[in-house]
Amino acid sequence: MTIDHPVALAPAERAVRLLGGDLTEKALALHLDGLAGVDAVGLEQRAAGLATRSIKTSSKAWALDTIIRTCDLTTLEGADTPGKVRSLVAKAVTPDATDPTTPRVAAVCVYGDMVPYVVEALGSLHGDPDAGLVSVAAVATAFPSGRASLDIKLADTREAVAAGADEIDMVIDRGAFLSGRYGLVFDQIVAVKEACRRPDGTYAHLKVILETGELVTYDNVKRASWLAILAGADFIKTSTGKVSPAATLPVTLLMLEVIRDWHRLTGEKVGMKPAGGIRASKDAVRYLVTVAETVGEEWLTPHLWRFGASSLVNDVLLQRQKLRTGHYSGPDYVTVD
C-alpha cells in the first residue's frame, strides 16, 4: 500500500502510544504492512495439534460450565420478535430448569431494536457476567454487511447504548480494508468506540468483528486484528455468523496470538470472541484448550472470552446432563432456538 501524503488519523490512545503522536495513515500502513507474514502451514499444524489435546474427566464439568458462562446466546434473524427475544432471555437466565447449578450465559446478543425487550426481561439479573449476571449485547454499524454511511453506523450504535446495551458488536468495512484504506477502517472504529460512551462517561464494551471469511488470507486477519486493537477494541471477533467460513480454530489461534503479543508489549488484555459454526461441546472444548495454551487460563472469563453461538448451549446442556446422570435425555430436554 502506498500513500503519497500523510493523512492524519483520529488520536486513539493505543495507536499514539505505539506509533507516536504524529499519527498518520502512512504510519499505520507502514506498521501493518511491516508485520511478519503468517506461516500458514505452521499455524494450521499448531491448531491441529491443539485440537487433539484431551481434558481429564474431572475437568470436563468445569469446561462445560465455562462454555455456558462465556457464551453470548444469540438471535440475529429478520423474523425476530419481542416474544422470541423474551424466550431467549428466559433460557439465558435459566439454561436448565432441572438443574439449578447450571450457570447463566454471559450475554444475550440481538439487533439494536430488540435491546429494550432484553433489558426489560432481564430485570434485576441484568449486569456484569463476571458477577453471575447477564449482559445485553447488540450488533450495530449496519450489521452484517457494514455497508452504510458513518453517520448511520454511529446512530445505530448510540441508539443501542441508550437503550441499555452493555456491549456493541460492530463490523469493519471489509471493502475498505481489502483495498488498503486502513485509515478509514481505523477512524470508523475509533468513532464507534466514542459512540459507545454513556452520559456518565463510562463506555459500552466494543467487540470488533473482522468477518475473517471475507479477508481471504491469514496475513489480512493478522493485520485487521492489530488494526482493531490499535483503534481501541475491547474484543476482537472472528465473524458475523452470516458468512462462510465463520470461526475456525486456526483463525482463532492467530487472533489469540495477536492478543498475546499485544499483552506482552503493553500489559493490556484484549478479549476474543469466535462466532459462527461452533455447535458441539467437543469443538468448544478445543477452543478452551487453545485459549489456555496461547494466552493463559486467566482469559477464560466472560470479561475476556466469549463464544458467539445460538445452538451450542443445547449440546452443552445435553453433555452436562449425561455427566450428571450417566445418560442422555430425550430430544425435548433442551429448548429449540
pLDDT the model gives residue 204: 98
Is 282 a residue of the active site? no
In a domain, 300, yes or no: yes
Say whether pLDDT at 1 is over 60. Answer: no
Catalytic residue of the set 153, 156, 237, 315: 237
Catalytic residue of the set 72, 156, 169, 187: 169
Q: How confident is the model at residue 337 (pLDDT cuts 50, 70, 90)?
A: low
Query: Is 218 within 8 Å of 176 (Cβ atoms)?
Result: no
In a domain, 332, yes or no: no
Q: What percent of the chain has pLDDT over 90?
A: 89
Residues spanned by the domain of 265: 13-325
In a domain, 1, yes or no: no
In a domain, 337, yes or no: no
HEC assignment per residue over the chain? CCCCCCCECCCCHHHHHHHCCCCEHHHHHHHHHCCCCCCHHHHHHHHHHHHCCCCCHHHHHHHHHHHHHCEEEECCCCCCCHHHHHHHHHHHHCCCCCCCCCCCCCEEEEEHHHHHHHHHHHHHHECCHHHCCEEEEEECCCCCCCCCCHHHHHHHHHHHHHHCCCEEEEECCHHHHHCCCHHHHHHHHHHHHHHCECCCCCECEEEEECCHHHCCCHHHHHHHHHHHHHHCCCEEECCCCCCCCCCCHHHHHHHHHHHHHHHHHHCCCCEEECECCCCCHHHHHHHHHHHHHHCCHHHCCCCCECEEECCHHHHHHHHHHHHHHCCCCCHHHCCCC
pLDDT the model gives residue 3: 45
Catalytic residue of the set 26, 91, 153, 273: 273
Say whether pLDDT at 29 is over 90. Answer: yes
Higher pLDDT, 55 or 173: 173
Query: Is 196 within 8 Å of 156 (Cβ atoms)?
Result: no
pLDDT the model gives residue 11: 83
In a domain, 3, yes or no: no
What CA–CA distance (Å, rounded) separates 16 from 13?
Answer: 5
In a domain, 111, yes or no: yes
pLDDT the model gives residue 324: 85
Is 56 a residue of the active site? no
In a domain, 331, yes or no: no
The strand order across the sheet containing 107-111 reads: 271-273, 235-237, 205-209, 167-171, 135-139, 107-111, 71-74, 307-309
In a domain, 109, yes or no: yes
- The total domain count for the chain is 1
What CA–CA distance (Å, rounded) separates 88 from 73?
Answer: 7
Whichever domain contains 272, its CATH number is: 3.20.20.70
Is 273 a residue of the active site? yes
Say whether pLDDT at 56 is over 80. Answer: no
pLDDT the model gives residue 334: 62
